[in-house]
Amino acid sequence: MRILFICNQNENRSKTAEELFRDKYETKSAGLYNNKPVSEKEISWADVIIVMEENQRSELAKRFPKQYMQKRILSLNISDNYSYNQPQLIQTLNLKINQIRDLF
């Protein structure tokens, strides 16, 4: 299973998720508003795309309408108030992934 984690900058949430779950899945992470934003190639690579906030799902639909319709895109609803590898972020990611694991 190839999972692409996406957040705004790919500095904290998605980067932490990529590293946290790489032993269980093939993972990558990307940002929407950084110097090297998520690409069509990365979207195509993924079996499942997991965004951190619902508005990021909408942004993916605007940028990649064709791929958006073909992909399973799930939102964890984790706001941008954590730092990279922060223990509370790791705990929240584990909890949220456990809640949605049956969807992918």
| Beta strands in 18-82, from DSSP E residues, in sequence order | 26-31, 48-51, 72-75
pTM as predicted: 0.96
| Three-state secondary structure call for residue 21 | coil
Q: How many domains does the chain have?
A: 1
Q: Which two tokens stand for residue 52?
A: 């951190």
Distance (Å) of CA 39 to CA 48, 51, 78, 87: 15, 14, 22, 29
Q: What residue numbers bound the domain in which 73 lies?
A: 2-103
Domain CATH for 24: 3.40.50.2300
pLDDT in tens, the chain (104 residues): 999 999 999 999 999 999 999 999 999 999 999 999 999 999 999 999 999 999 999 999 999 999 999 999 999 999 999 999 999 999 999 999 999 988 88
User: Under 8 Å CB-to-CB from 33, ≥6 apart: which residues?
Assistant: 8, 9
